[in-house]
Chains A and B, each alone.
Chain A
C-alpha cells in the first residue's frame, strides 16, 4: 500500500507515514525474532537482549527519510 493512502487518512505527509510505518513494522518483526532470546534471558540480560531491536528500528525509520531527501 503506498504511503500516500494512509497519509490522506491521517492528514499528514507520506514521508511521515512511511517513517512511522517502517519503524512499527520493524518493531513487530524484530520483537517476534527476539522473543525467545528475551524470554530466556534473566535480569539485566533481558535489556541487553533488546540491543538488536533498538538498533534495527531506527535504521528502518531512516530508509524513508533517505528516499525523501531524493
Chain B
C-alpha cells in the first residue's frame, strides 16, 4: 500500500481495485474479448501510474537512470495497451483508432531509443529492460548480447521513424526479446526462486514478467502495422 500516493483517499481500496482491474485486463487480452476497453483502460492506468507515482519520483532524482527507465517502461506498456485497443477496433476507421495506435507508436518509439542507448552505456545489465540487475556470470558474451539487443531496439525505432519494414523488424526484435526472456530471464527466475528471501524471489518473477511484457509491447506494435509495410 506504500506505493499509493499519500494524498489519495481510501488507499487500500485502490490496491484491491488495481488487482481486480489487472484480473479483468489479463483475461480480456488473453481471450481477445473486449480488448478495445481493456487495452484502453490498462493504458490509462499506466499513464496515471506514471503521472502520479513514477514521474514525480523521477523529477526528485533527475540523475537516477533506474527511475527514468521505469517511467519509459510504464509509458511503453500503456502505449502498447492503446495499440491493442486500436487493433481491436476492427472494421472501424476514424480518429479514435488511428489516434490510439499513433500515441502508442510514439511512446514505444521513445522507449526503444532510450533503452537502446542505455544498453550501450550499461552493457552488462540484463537485456531488454535495462534496470539494475546484471547478467549472470555463467553467460558467455554478455556485453555482446547487450550491444546486439541495444542495436536491435534502435533499428526498430529507426524503422518506425522511417516507416520502412516496421512489421518485419518489430516482429524479429520482439522475437529476440522473447528469446532473451526464455534463455536468460528463465534461468535467472529459477535461480531467484532457489534463494531464501521472498524479496529476491519476487524480484526474479518481476524481471521475467516485465521483460515479457516489453516483448509483448513490441509485438503489439508489429501487429498494428499493415502487412503491406513489410514489403516497402
Known: A52-B35, A55-B217. A67 touches B30 (CB 8 A): no
Contact digits for B60-91, partner A, Cβ 8 Å, 1 yes 0 no = 00000000000000000000110010000000
Q: Is B92 an interface residue (CB 8 A)?
A: no
Bound-complex Cα distance A39 to B82 (A)? 26
Contacts of B16 in A (CB 8 A): 67, 70
Q: Is B154 an interface residue (CB 8 A)?
A: no
Bound-complex Cα distance A58 to B77 (A)? 11
Contact-residue bracket for chain A: 35 or more
Contact digits for A44-65, partner B, Cβ 8 Å, 1 yes 0 no = 1101111111111111111101
A59 with B29: CB separation less than 8 A: yes
Distance in Å: Cβ of B129 to nearest Cβ of chain A: 11
Contacts of B167 in A (CB 8 A): 44, 48
B35 with A60: CB separation less than 8 A: no
Which of B19-27, B51-59, B106-114, B134-142 touches A? B19-27
Interface residues of B in 207-225 (CB under 8 A from A): 209-210, 212-213, 215-217, 219-220, 222-223
Residue of B nearest to A66 (CB): B19
Contacts of A65 in B (CB 8 A): 202, 205-206
Distance in Å: Cβ of B182 to nearest Cβ of chain A: 11
Q: Say what secondary structure dominates the interface of chain B.
A: helix
Residue of A nearest to B81 (CB): A55
Count residues of chain B with CB under 8 A from any CB of chain A: 46
Contacts of A53 in B (CB 8 A): 30, 216
Interface residues of A in 18-60 (CB under 8 A from B): 19-20, 23, 26, 29-30, 33-34, 44-45, 47-60
B216 with A13: CB separation less than 8 A: no
Which of B178, B212, B217 is packed against the most chain A CB atoms within 10 Å?
B212
Which of B95-103, B118-126, B143-151, B168-176 touches A? B168-176
Q: Which listed residue (A20, A50, A59) contacts B205, Cβ 8 A? A: A20
Bound-complex Cα distance A4 to B112 (A)? 40
A56 with B30: CB separation less than 8 A: yes
Bound-complex Cα distance A68 to B201 (A)? 13
Contacts of B205 in A (CB 8 A): 16, 19-20, 23, 61, 65
Q: Which residues of B contact A (CB under 8 A)?
A: 1-3, 12, 15-16, 18-19, 22-23, 25-27, 29-32, 35, 42, 80-81, 84, 167-168, 171-172, 174-175, 178, 193, 198, 201-202, 205-206, 209-210, 212-213, 215-217, 219-220, 222-223
Which 9 A-B residue pairings sit nearest by Cβ, starting from the closest? A54-B216, A30-B30, A51-B219, A55-B216, A56-B30, A58-B209, A59-B26, A58-B213, A44-B171
Subset of 10 A-B contacts with CB under 8 Å: A12-B198, A23-B205, A48-B223, A55-B84, A55-B213, A55-B220, A57-B212, A59-B29, A66-B19, A67-B15
